Amino acid sequence: MSLEWFGRMENAVRISLPDLCEGFDEVEILFDTDPTEQHPSFNFSVQTDEEIDEFCYIFFDPINQEFYSYHYDDEAELHAKVLFGNLDQMLSFIHASFHDYLDEIDELSGEFIDEFDDELSDDLYEDEIIDDSDEAFFPEDEDHIEWITNDKYIHIEDNSPDVSANYSIYYKLGIDQETGDGVIYRNTIAKENDEETEEQVLLYFKEEEASYISELVSEYLNTKVN
């Protein structure tokens, strides 16, 4: 696994970011990286008087050597995984995400926000739809859940004689603020025989169940070891 491309792309984005959009002159854009994650990330946010609003995440898969993010397709009403093959595609996505953020602020505040130059058309980047369910969701959409852990990533490869597959899985743990229940979010992106699918699951559990879930996992691990 090499992070050379991650480092080169980080430098290129930092150089290009100030000239990407006239709107960047009106607000303070923060660009942070987190190379400690299993899938290192670029994080883009806006500094306001009261808080920091994050508007774009881009991840790097060091095993498959690919940059990716997620985008909601309004027409298809689906979440899509977006792959970036070069700097221009990534900058276009950052630009579009920034304007999406401005649109959300406009809707929430009811105030008019001036339109900026260089509006992007819908075909600036290609979306790879990875879930055809009409009820697709991301955990960030669940406003009543407070996420108390960072994303936990794992990449699994299965190269058996009959199957060639790999799985990108990440987990997140949260608390339902309305009920106090624990919540485990699990997202699995599976590539098997050149076909890609995605499964997203939210598991709710009571406080009294936590020790039993932990015990079941321990028993499974002990069984595999023995």
User: pLDDT-based confidence at 115, cuts 50/70/90?
Assistant: very low
Helix locations, 52-128, DSSP H: 87-109
pLDDT, residue 116, reads 42
pTM of this structure: 0.47
State which of 72-76, 147-151, 169-173 shows the largest mean pLDDT: 169-173
60: pLDDT strictly greater than 90: yes
Taking only the tens place, the pLDDT of each residue in 127-161 is 444 444 434 445 555 677 887 877 677 777 776 66
CB neighbour list of residue 41: distance below 8 Å, 6 or more residues apart: 33, 34, 57, 58, 59, 60
Output the six-digit token pair for 82: 């977006």
User: pLDDT-based confidence at 185, cuts 50/70/90?
Assistant: confident
63 touches 31 (CB < 8 A)? no
Q: What percent of the chain has pLDDT over 70?
A: 74
Helix-strand-coil split of the chain, %, nearest 5: 30, 40, 30
pLDDT, residue 108, reads 64
> Mean pLDDT lowest for which of 19-23, 47-51, 53-57, 125-129?
125-129
pLDDT, residue 155, reads 74
131 touches 150 (CB < 8 A)? no
147 touches 184 (CB < 8 A)? no
**Greater confidence, 139 or 100?**
100
**Greater confidence, 225 or 223?**
223
Mean pLDDT of 2-31: 85
pLDDT, residue 213, reads 87
pLDDT, residue 130, reads 40
**Greater confidence, 2 or 164?**
2
Helix locations, 51-207, DSSP H: 87-109
Cβ atoms within 10 Å of 223's Cβ, excluding its own: 8
125: pLDDT strictly greater than 50: no
Residue located via tokens 């996420």: 147
